[in-house]
Amino acid sequence: MEQGAGDDDFVRPHVEPGGPLERIFGAEDDRKGWGRATIRLLTHPLHRMPRVTQADLLLPNGQNPLRLTGDCLVIGALFAALAYLPLLMVALTTTIDLSRWIVVAMGAAGLAAAVYVFVRAWAPDTRDLDRF
């Protein structure tokens, strides 16, 4: 059986009974090898694929201002923390004290990210919505 580009079937290599590959791949009816139903049908209970619909990918159309403020603060804090690592590498390679410069740069990065998230959420760009 040849598998085309659009086939979603599980393709198992041909294994001769009693051959050297049977030890690796197991027999067709082996309940504990590669032929077991959980592998052939992709139904492992711990790794189920989520059923994502188009409605799950839509942005919320109205948001609580308090929640938006909290989201902006969290994103700003994360961007400030991300800005710290390159600033720390610069500070470790120089001999002068850059602690004030690092705090100002972290604050600027966090503030810029928070303002960007606020502006994008408060007035979303609706030019591309006709594609969806």
pLDDT tens track for 68-116: 888 889 999 999 999 999 999 999 999 999 999 999 999 999 999 999 9
pLDDT over 70, % of the chain: 55
Q: Which CA distances in Å does 26 have to 33, 35, 41, 43, 113?
A: 5, 7, 17, 19, 54
Q: How many CB atoms lie within 10 A of CB 53?
A: 8
Counting the structural domains of the chain, the total is: 2
Which residue in 39, 30, 43, 31 sits closest to 10, CA to CA?
39
Token digits for 7? 């086939």
Q: What angle do CA 77, 81, 83 make, to 5 degrees?
A: 115
Within this chain, do residues 87 and 51 fall inside the same structural domain, yes or no? no
Question: Token pair for residue 20?
Answer: 């050297």
Looking at the structure, tell me whether residues 30 and 40 fall in a common domain: yes
Of residues 16 and 109, more confidence is placed in: 109
What is the rounded distance in angstroms from the CA atom of residue 69 to the CA atom of residue 77?
12
Residue 73 pLDDT: 92
Q: What is the span of the domain harbouring residue 98? A: 59-124
Look at residue 1 and tell me if it is in a domain: no
The alpha carbon of 79 is separated from its chain's Cα centroid by a whole number of angstroms, namely 17
- pLDDT at position 56 is 73
Q: For residues 66 and 105, state if they share a domain.
A: yes
**What would the two tokens of residue 27 be?**
């027999």
